[in-house]
Structure 1
Amino acid sequence: MKTIKGPAVFLAQFVDSEPPFNSLDGLCKWASDLGYKGIQIPTWESFLIDLDKAAESQDYCDELKGKINSYGLEITELSTHLQGQLVAVHPAYDIMFDNFAPDHLKGKPKERTQWAIETVKKAATASRRLGIGAHATFSGALLWHTAHPWPQRPPGLVEMGFEELAKRWMPILNHFDEEGVDVCYEIHPGEDLHDGDTFERFLEATGNHKRVNILYDPSHFVLQQLDYITYIDHYHEFIKSFHVKDSEFNPTGKKGAFGGYNDWGDRAGRYRSLGDGQIDFKTIFSKLTQYGCDVWAVMEWECCIKSPEQGAREGAKFIADHIIEATTKTFDDFAGADTDTDKLKRILGL
């Protein structure tokens, strides 16, 4: 067993043009004052990290790490969710996902894909220079538009899709392996890796690459009506990163899992602040601890009702209260006794 680290916070949803959310120092002081011990850094926010410099300069990484450490914080992971998304984009989504790309690459999907691959590889080197062993990202998607197929999928389509997805990720995975860093894919609707079966398809397509791992976020499984507890039993050995985010699913006679094209507040499946949803975090923390998952508990705020500031204030305490100090003792050790082979035989009547 292993004690989960935390609490930590993913900074992406808190970045703003107003202080303290518009500078690294401001966000670090804010997070530390709330009781957080770690931060997950979105690498697309250049004022938080210059990924080019981080991949090239150990001095830059040492200075960045030192600044963050000065606030009593650690970097839990770097995140390339947006860049990872661009590794694989179906043409139907090109216009919307161009928002994640530099201006000079908009409308150039092939060049955008290559830029995304190289950018995620830079995050591997930066992570190694920062002393971080896990990295958070998205897989991207070539097949998502066929998730509920009509007309039906032709034979071989899914296999070809995962073959292509693996082909794009293999150079990245190999580079992460060289740097000694695990790639943790957030299993998420909209990605080709969105449940257990699709994770296994991708793992097989990469030849069971040892750097293919999971960012576990139960909120996405509630929206799919997937058993998020048993998921840990199946995949605990791959869980190297953990987003603590709550959600709820309240279907009606008018809407269910697909949401009716409604905004978040009006959907049956909604993300909520910690403790306001339906997720059984006590069991989740127990299982992750029991299985010895070496993860940071990172709060991600995406509530459709509560403000991010209140969600962050409450989230630090919520996580701290759920972290289990893994025991090093067995409760009935006091009743034990020294033994030897002969004694064991006598007990068995041999």
Structure 2
Amino acid sequence: MKTIKGPAIFLGQFASDRAPFDSWDAITKWVAEMGYVGVQVPSWADRLIDLSKAASSKDYCDEFAGVARENGIELAELSSHLQGQLVAVHPAYDECFDGFAASKVRGNPKARQEWAVDQVKMAITASKHLGMKAHGTFSGALAWPYLYPWPQRPTGLIETAFDELAKRWMPILEHAEDCGVDVCYEIHPGEDLHDGITYEMFLERTGNHARANMLYDPSHYVLQCLDYLDNIDIYKDRIKMFHVKDAEFNPTGRQGVYGGYQSWVNRAGRFRSLGDGQVDFGAVFSKMTANDFAGWAVVEWECALKHPEDGAREGAEFVKAHIIRVTEKAFDDFATSGGGGAANRRMLRL
């Protein structure tokens, strides 16, 4: 077994034009003050990282990592969630997702998709330059508008969508193989890869590609009423990244999983700061540790109620309290009876 690394924090919800969230040096100092030892970096946040330089220059990456290190922070992973979303977009969402892309490709779905593929590849190359073995992203979605089977779906519609999704991702996965980096899809509503079944459908179409792995986040499973503990055991060999995020699901006689088009505050299912929701993190960390997860425990702050800086500060202590320093010996070693070899055979009367 291995001791999980952390606590780390995902900077996607914090990067902004306001100090100390507006520069790489300042934000890494801030997270260190909060009690973190690692960060997961959003590759689209150009106030923090120049993705093009990171993909083309090992020297830039060494300098980038050096700034963090001087502030007491390690680099956990890079994220390309927003760009990954654009690898596959159903036309119904074209306008909604256009803002994720560079202005030069907005309004042009074909150019936007090509840009997104290039961006994810650059982020994977940058991960290699930074010495990272795992990279987080979204799969995008072509079939999501047809999630509910009404009207009745035409025969083969979902299969065609997943065939195309795998076709779009295969060149990226091959690039990841060349770089020695795992692509970790966050299993997330709004993505075609939103639960175990859909992940398996995708995996089958990629030929069970070794680099097509998972980012585990129990909050998304709570809101789907999915067994988030069983999921760890089922996919233990594919879970390469870990978001520590809480959630609660409180259905009523008026609303359930679908939320009735309500805001996050008023939904039956909503994300919460760590410790304020329903996820049994004692059990989660126990299973992750027992299954030899060797990566980072990364806080992703999302809460409709609590201030993000309070959530971040509390999150560091929460993760510290849940990381299990693995034992190097069995608890009953004090009572060993010796034996071995010939003694074992004697005990068995052999």
Query: Which TM-score applies when normalising by structure 1?
Result: 0.99
Q: Partner amino acid for 1:277? A: G
- Offset of residue 342 of structure 1: 2.9
- Offset of residue 159 of structure 1: 1.5
- Offset of residue 261 of structure 1: 0.3
Q: Partner amino acid for 1:247? A: A
Q: Secondary structure at the match of 1:251?
A: coil
- Offset of residue 163 of structure 1: 0.9
The answer to whether residue 305 in structure 2 is matched with residue 305 in structure 1 is: yes
User: Which residue of the partner structure matches residue 113 of structure 1?
Assistant: 113
Q: Is the 8 A contact 2:84 2:117 kept in 1?
A: yes
> 1:176, 1:75 → 2: CA distance?
19
- Offset of residue 337 of structure 1: 3.4
User: Which residue of the partner structure matches residue 50 of structure 2?
Assistant: 50
User: Which residue of the partner structure matches residue 267 of structure 1?
Assistant: 267
User: Which residue of the partner structure matches residue 206 of structure 1?
Assistant: 206
Unpaired runs of at least 5, structure 2: none
User: Which residue of the partner structure matches residue 319 of structure 2?
Assistant: 319
Q: How do 1:108-257 and structure 2 match up within 5 A? A: 108-257=108-257
Q: Secondary structure at the match of 1:237?
A: coil
Q: Partner amino acid for 1:302? A: E
Q: Secondary structure at the match of 2:188?
A: coil
Q: Partner amino acid for 1:346? A: R
> 2:147, 2:345 → 1: CA distance?
59
> 2:155, 2:171 → 1: CA distance?
28
Q: Secondary structure at the match of 1:337?
A: coil
> 1:223, 1:246 → 2: CA distance?
10
- Offset of residue 101 of structure 1: 0.8
> 1:266, 1:68 → 2: CA distance?
38
- Offset of residue 62 of structure 1: 0.7
State the identity as a percent. 61
> 2:286, 2:56 → 1: CA distance?
40
Q: Partner amino acid for 1:215? A: L
User: Which residue of the partner structure matches residue 20 of structure 2?
Assistant: 20
User: Which residue of the partner structure matches residue 87 of structure 1?
Assistant: 87
The answer to whether residue 334 in structure 2 is matched with residue 342 in structure 1 is: no
- Offset of residue 338 of structure 1: 3.2
Q: Secondary structure at the match of 2:223?
A: helix
User: Which residue of the partner structure matches residue 332 of structure 1?
Assistant: 332
> 2:341, 2:106 → 1: CA distance?
73
Unpaired runs of at least 5, structure 1: none
Deviation by residue 1:81-127 (Cα, 9 ceiling, x = unmatched) = 00000000000000000010111111100110011001100111101
- Offset of residue 347 of structure 1: 1.5
Q: Is the 8 A contact 2:15 2:48 kept in 1?
A: no
Q: Is the 8 A contact 2:240 2:293 kept in 1?
A: yes
